[in-house]
Amino acid sequence: MASDPHTTANLRRIAQRLLPLIDLTSLNDSDDAAVVERLCARARTPAGNVAAVCIHAPHIPVAKRALVGTDVPIATVTNFPAGAADVAAAAEETAKAVALGADEVDVVFPYGALIAGDRTVGLELVKASKAACGGKVLLKVILETGQLKTPQLIRAASDIAIAGGADFIKTSTGKTQPGASLEAAEVMLGAISDARAQRRWVGFKASGGVRTVSEAQAYLALADRMLGDGFASAATFRVGASALLDDVLICLGLDA
């Protein structure tokens, strides 16, 4: 008989599994150096480090100083949050983020253009952003699935992003509603599975409203079922969140 995922022992096991998969995120317009320093301090816990810290690009130098001596990467966002269809602007913003020292860039896919029927600009934007990463920086493409809404459009955006060179495809900016959903995740993981069959390795990131261990576990379980137990590592599976870390630490018996 399957174990109950809500028992204390299982929640602890799941929390320990989730900790190194969290992109600890703060993307508020009001963020300042003190906020970023506190976020970076939270990234290192007695149970281990998170996968990355995700902040606005102007704060990258602050984060780099705060994370000296750790192996925690710094992620940032570009073309955020609107997902404009300006290829040159997205590529330039990505290049500037890389120059500031970003290890990972989460670029917003031009989802509005895709909704309007343009299947070309998204490919061009992802390709240009990937080129701006220079072969060293990880590129995650935010699809904004809550706005795409239909499985057909979510699958189209996933396929386009993968064809353009995305290292990860990500559900949401967290700035629109709805954010992440299991229904969208299943479509995206299906696209990732099909890409793997063609020997193209792409990761998945759930972001937008994932706040508890139980909520995050649902995405882990879906990835395990569709892509196998070995898929969900920091190299291929992330959860973008801030509140999730608090719940993880509580489940591990640590102060949040």
User: What does the DSSP 8-state code read for residue 25?
Assistant: E
Q: Say how far apart CA 252 and CA 256 lie, in whole Å.
A: 10
Contacts of 164 (CB under 8 A, 6+ apart): 122, 123, 124, 125, 126, 127, 129, 130, 141
From 130, 140, 167, 170, the catalytic residue: 170
Q: What would the DSSP string read from start to end of 66-104?
A: HTTTS---EEEEESTTT--S-HHHHHHHHHHHHHHT-SE
Q: Specify whether 106 is catalytic.
A: yes
Cis (ω within 30 of 0) for the bond into 20? no
Helix (H) / strand (E) element for 128: namely helix 121-132
| Strand-pair partners of 127 | none
Q: Specify whether 167 is catalytic.
A: no
Q: Say how far apart CA 183 and CA 149 lie, in whole Å.
A: 10
From 23, 130, 167, 205, the catalytic residue: 205
Q: Specify whether 170 is catalytic.
A: yes
The CA angle 7-8-11, to the nearest 5 degrees, is: 85
- The tokens 């989730």 sit on which residue? 18
From 23, 106, 167, 247, the catalytic residue: 106
Give me the active site residues, please.
106, 170, 205
